[in-house]
Amino acid sequence: DALELIRHDAAHVMAQAVQELFPGTQVTIGPVIEDGFFYDFAREEPFSLDDLPKIEAKMKEIVDRDIPILREVWPRDEGVRYFNSIGEHYKAEIIEGIPQSEQISVYKHGNQWMDLCRGPHLRSTGALGKAFKLTKLAGAYWRGDHRNPMLQRIYGTAWRNEAELDAHLKRIEEAEKRDHRKLGQSMDLFHIQEEGKGMIFWHPKGWTLYRTMLAYMRRRIEGAGYVEVKTPQILDKSFWERSGHWEKFHDSMFICETEEGETLAVKPMNCPGHVQIFNHGLRSYRELPIRMAEFEGLHRCESSGSTHGLLRVRQMAQDDAHIFCTDDQIVSESKAFVDLLNSVYADLGVELHSVKLALRPEKRFGTDAQWTIAEDKLEEAANLAGVQVERLPNEGAFYGPKLEFHLRDAIGRTWQCGTLQLDYVLPERLDANYIGEDGAKHRPVMLHRAICGSMERFIGVLIEHYAGAFPLWLAPVQAVVATITSDADDYGQQVVNKLKAAGLRAELDVRNEKINYKVREHSLAKVPVIVVVGRREAENGQVALRRLGGEAQQVVSLEEAIATLTREATPPDLVRETATA
Ligand code: ZN
């Protein structure tokens, strides 16, 4: 991959530049990451942001030198000796970790610089080009362990050409403006605090948004023939041992112990709980498919350092459901799911970007013949629903293949949200069965599926997608009635009462502030409609509507305003329902 080579070379060229500019700095590791690279350095004095342009300039000079990049293979011990002799003790330590019998490869920039590296690399520093930029500084512990010395990390991004680099920098700038953590604060949606890493304190407005999403998802799945259930949050360890989660997922589970000596685990997922409901009583083939949904909280003990706003949390709810069906129903159920997902994404204003089919991994349950059938069925279902899949070898779970649905947001980023996973193993482990037409017991197939995935993460994605400016039906506050002068306060109160009575989420702002100040403030909070009222509006029974992002005011009668806003605030699925009724 050309970008991978470029980024890897950029990391080396940056390390050379740093060592030329700041003699005595030791290099450690410098991997390629998404969109760029970083390098961790050991240096007494801290780097400052002012150093970055200097390092960039030196990197460009090294590119201009067009130094040939050469690979050499050394005995491992020679590597340890050499790097120690030039004071690169971290590099020497890395090489010491390689078995003594092995050889190491180093990449040299002519005679000017070298690094331990697996490669591959470009043929010369000139081939790197100059479409790179150093983006930020951070601290990082050596080998990621807080007992080790703190190193200094410099991040950069590198691309094939200036146009790609510019587009990337614009995307970052735009993404920063849309950062859901910033908007979460300015819109007063939620906060996170130190004592609850990865846990969300949803404020009234944020929770309104959340409940609006949940209400929408509930209507959609109910319309698609799902039933909703609720299973316990905490279950005995033996239960998770039986389901296989204790063995596979134990590190990510929150464990608790009682005074009576029980060991319990907080559920990381709903699947085994749903099998218990399926197993309760005799099931007949006539009942299948059973589509069982649950929106209860799930807890996963992500490392505290990896949590990130709403996007990576320890506590979440999923729009999770399990479809218990027969082999013959896999294709039709999967197709119906893909159709539902497409429709939900369209309603939410996001675009399905791609669908990937994760195929059998090395370690797996079941025969090759079973896997071939399962993989082909998922692909067939996706095709029937009008989507093409990209096959990803080795990426499936050990118990079955999986469709992954990636959506594209307003600034072109893609997010994997939806999944559909075929599972033959859990029904087997937990002894789920139904009585078939032949009167004998059969195993159902289990389809694990989610459209949004984690609701927290999905809402985070939506906040960034809309940059907080939600369509009216999703907006936590749909309208603020703002008075121009205090003699319109009574009328303002009447207006907000009528908006609320019509089912709109409306608030009143009668503060003694200038109207422009009020408009600016509610615009920052991304309120979609500001209903401005002054004495003239009060006298005429009118209101002036101002839309978020628009300058114009539209003066209409209060009745007309209510009719317009309630129509716009109707969720898209309910609009369809009324249209067909
Ligand atoms: Zn599941």
- Check residue 306 and give its pLDDT: 82
- 198 band by pLDDT with thresholds 50, 70 and 90: very high
Residue 40 · residue 153 · CB < 8 Å:
yes
Residue 111 · residue 119 · CB < 8 Å:
no
Structure-model confidence comparison of residues 217 and 424, the more confident one: 217
Note the pLDDT tens digit of each residue in 260-270: 999 999 999 99
CA of 233 to the centre of ligand 1 (A): 15
- 531 band by pLDDT with thresholds 50, 70 and 90: very high
Compute the C-alpha angle 547/552/556, nearest 5°. Answer: 80
- Check residue 310 and give its pLDDT: 94
CA of 76 to the centre of ligand 1 (A): 47
Task: Give yes or no for residue 340 having a pLDDT over 90.
Answer: yes
CA of 295 to the centre of ligand 1 (A): 12
Q: Which of 274, 300, 314, 377 is catalytic?
A: 300
* 250 assigned to active site: no
Note residues around ion ligand 1 (Cβ under 5 angstroms).
271, 448
Which whole number is the average pLDDT over 137-164?
93
* 320 assigned to active site: yes
* 402 assigned to active site: yes
Q: Which of 274, 448, 457, 522 is catalytic?
A: 448
Q: What does pLDDT average to over the chain?
A: 93
CA of 462 to the centre of ligand 1 (A): 24
CA of 191 to the centre of ligand 1 (A): 29
Structure-model confidence comparison of residues 2 and 132, the more confident one: 132
Looking at the chain, the whole-number percentage of residues with pLDDT higher than 70 is 100
- 239 band by pLDDT with thresholds 50, 70 and 90: very high
- 251 band by pLDDT with thresholds 50, 70 and 90: confident
- Check residue 494 and give its pLDDT: 97
Q: Which of 40, 320, 409, 423 is catalytic?
A: 320
Q: Which of 117, 271, 417, 452 is catalytic?
A: 271
* 271 assigned to active site: yes
Residue from 182, 457, 147, 145 nearest 307 by CA? 457
- 116 band by pLDDT with thresholds 50, 70 and 90: confident
Which whole number is the average pLDDT over 440-463?
96
* 318 assigned to active site: yes
**263-272 exposure pattern, b = at least 16 Cβ within 10 A, e = fewer:** ebbbbbbbbb
Structure tokens at 233: 């949050």
CA of 276 to the centre of ligand 1 (A): 13
- Collapsing DSSP to helix, strand or coil, 470 comes out as coil
- Tokens 């079955």 correspond to 400
Residue from 198, 191, 214, 316 nearest 266 by CA? 316
What are the strands of the beta sheet with 69-75, ordered from one edge? Answer: 69-75, 103-109, 113-116
- Collapsing DSSP to helix, strand or coil, 568 comes out as helix
